[in-house]
Amino acid sequence: MQAYLDNSATTRPCEAAIAAMTDCMREGFYNPSSVYLPSVEAFRRLRSARERILSTVRGSGCELYFTSGGTEGNNLAVIGAVSRMRGRQLVALSAVEHPSVQASFEALKAMGHEVRVIGVDESGALDWAALERALADGASFVSCMQVNNETGALLDAERLHRTVNGRALIHVDGVQGYLRVPFDMKNADLYTISGHKIHGPKGIGALVVRKGVRLNPRQVGGGQEGGMRSGTENTPGIAGLDAAVAELTAMGRDMPEGIRRKKRLLIEGILRAVPEAFINGPDPENAAPHIVNIGFPNVRGEVMLHALEGEGIYVSTGSACSSKKQKVSSVLTAMGIPAARAEWAIRFSLSPHTTEEEINYAAGRIGALYDQLKRFQRR
């Protein structure tokens, strides 16, 4: 048996997305910028997909630009917005952002802007007093992720909006939260999503932009996507994204709670099998429904990961985008977790399609594997 519990790294494309992409490549392959009828139909499908996504984040009146995914969307949001501002800017991001956001701020620093990193507490919650100080010092741009990709810590987007109170632009990286945690564009100026995190294809995403927010494009050419993202649109990718959004939306408002019930089952099974195990980050009931980070004392996460892999159970030690570059999670260390404990961490991430059979199988095997591995702990 297999158990895929790494849905924050990527998700299996749903059948509706695969069918929509296949149909688009076979029958609807036309360039939406051309003027004959089949191309006009392709353009209409793009418009419909745009409108569907905007409706899911209460984005009436907002713009939406299709991108190649979360990284490009974050780059466009951060660098595109700040580079449009006049003069040297003070900009702020949380200490636990995705590498694509961190790299965007490094690019801003290289351009001469001042970057302020806002810390978090042991639960991953933002240091609101530090954010207020940055705003008082004149910060003009703030970026925070909606759901932390390693711990499931949630951003209080309403409090962020109230705290900023119009003094700065707000960018929210919604890649790990979109459709699993409700979001309203009244709380942000820019919001990033990615298709492959919600059972759509890789290579497609979107940036939602509040009307009136000005950006400098990062990709120039033929002027597609309102001039913000030139290049012939990825119509099969957009079709797949649209189908995935439609399918998850059709599951209804109870869908996230269904995932949360499975997460509870997983946590209970693991803690029953390994009483010494502990949760890194927020209380699971006050976190995103699909992510939990668990430490297994005296067994390195990488060792546990490969042992689980041998049993057909797939998990991660942290962000897939940085897992090959670092031994200890920068997210966990930013939360004040000692490096030795952070080394024991495993991230489990679920989806609406995760089954109870997968969870029960994983929890059962983890107990046996841990009993074996802890005998070989380093002394």
Return per-residue pLDDT of the chain as tens, 379 residues. Answer: 999 999 999 999 999 999 999 999 999 999 999 999 999 999 999 999 999 999 999 999 999 999 999 999 999 999 999 999 999 999 999 999 999 999 999 999 999 999 999 999 999 999 999 999 999 999 999 999 999 999 999 999 999 999 999 999 999 999 999 999 999 999 999 999 999 999 999 999 999 999 999 999 999 999 999 999 999 999 999 999 999 999 999 999 999 999 999 999 999 999 999 999 999 999 999 999 999 999 999 999 999 999 999 999 999 997 655 555 557 899 999 999 999 999 999 999 999 999 999 999 999 999 999 999 988 765 4
CA atoms within 13 A on the CB side of 294: 26
CA–CA separation, 155 and 151 (whole Å): 12
* DSSP codes joined into one string, 319-340: -TTTTTT-SS-HHHHHTT--HH
CA–CA separation, 120 and 133 (whole Å): 14
How are beta strands 278-280 and 345-349 bridged, if at all?
A: unpaired
CB 375 within 8 A of CB 278: no
Alpha-carbon Rg for the chain, nearest whole angstrom, is 21
Dig out the tokens for 259 from the structure: 């995932």
CA–CA separation, 210 and 344 (whole Å): 41
Q: What are the structural domains of the chain?
A: 3-11+253-376 (3.90.1150.10), 15-250 (3.40.640.10)
| Total Cβ atoms within 10 A of residue 372 | 10
CA–CA separation, 91 and 96 (whole Å): 15
Helix count and strand count (H, E) for the chain: 12, 12
- Please say whether the dihedral angle defined by the alpha carbons of residues 11, 14, 20 and 21, taken in this order, is positive or negative: positive
Catalytic residue IDs: 321
CB 311 within 8 A of CB 369: yes
CA–CA separation, 245 and 265 (whole Å): 26
**So what's the pLDDT on residue 64?**
98
Dig out the tokens for 28 from the structure: 């609807």
